[in-house]
Amino acid sequence: MILAYSPCPNDTYIFHAWVSGLLPDAPEVEERLLDIDALNGLAREGRADVCKISFHAFGHLRDRYALLHSGGALGRGCGPLLVTRADRVAGMPEEPGAFSGLSVAIPGRWTTAALLLRLFAPGLQGLRVMPYDRIMPAVEAGEVDAGLIIHESRFTYPDHGLAALVDLGEWWERLTGHPIPLGAIAVRRDLGEDMARRLDQAVRASLEHARANPMASRAYIERHAQEMDPDVCRRHIDLYVTDFSLDYGIEGENAIRDLLSRGEQAGIFPSSEQRLFWDR
């Protein structure tokens, strides 16, 4: 069974105990670590049994995948930022309708960041897909007018001489009152509900193990975080691993349903009669 997730600290923190064999009752899995755009592609091709995907991607894949209740990235104050060079802020448009002429680097067409940007500025045309770690250098070099940044870039963009134009998470929270759904753990529907239940329990148990043994996963996280500053790594986990990661609960589920509904209404992905979760 293929379990696919990103090398970002929030995911390696959550899944360390499971893939390290520390959960005797968890299903055996083969791990695949890829960036979020590649994960969305893996799920699109049906080549992952359990996969971290963007909620945007899930909007397109509801016929084949259902959501687990645990392991997702959903919270407040953690949304993507639209950034530009600090010396260009004064000349940038202030209203979403005036963004149409900008060239903007995005970290994947099916990322939730891209979905939020399209909801915020529907007329925006000049989108350029780049690996997320290439976006800040591209903005800094003037290759694009602005960049949509995610992950640890939220903490480091000022070091690149960049300034925030729009905090799309803040915009979403102000518009809806909901926390922002970013990424989900999805399971193939054809695995059945019994297996989905076991997988959900494994994700939750792995996160509970991480919280109870905070030093146990440190080497695993740092190995995959590569050269990320340890302080940035810790802040990354603190921001993206929340109580919603244990279980979305009613508040989280309402946020997810609202985001998907808005994507449907905007024609960004098709509507679906499938249940969102494997059990409801």
Asked if residues 118 and 265 have their Cβ atoms less than 8 Å apart, the reply is: no
SS3 80: coil
Question: Where is 53: in which H helix or E strand?
Answer: strand 50-54
Where does the chain have alpha helices with state H? Answer: 9-19, 36-44, 55-60, 112-120, 132-140, 153-156, 168-176, 193-212, 218-225, 230-240, 243-246, 249-265
Active site residue 236: no
- For the chain, the maximum distance between any two Cα atoms, rounded to a whole number of angstroms, is 58
Distances in whole angstroms, Cα of residue 25 to Cα of each of 22, 66, 200: 9, 22, 12
Q: Which residue is catalytic, options 151, 160, 178, 236?
A: 151
Q: Which amino acid is at 82?
A: L
Q: How far is CA 194 from CA 122, 156, 191, 200, 255, in A?
A: 41, 42, 8, 10, 26
Catalytic residues: 151
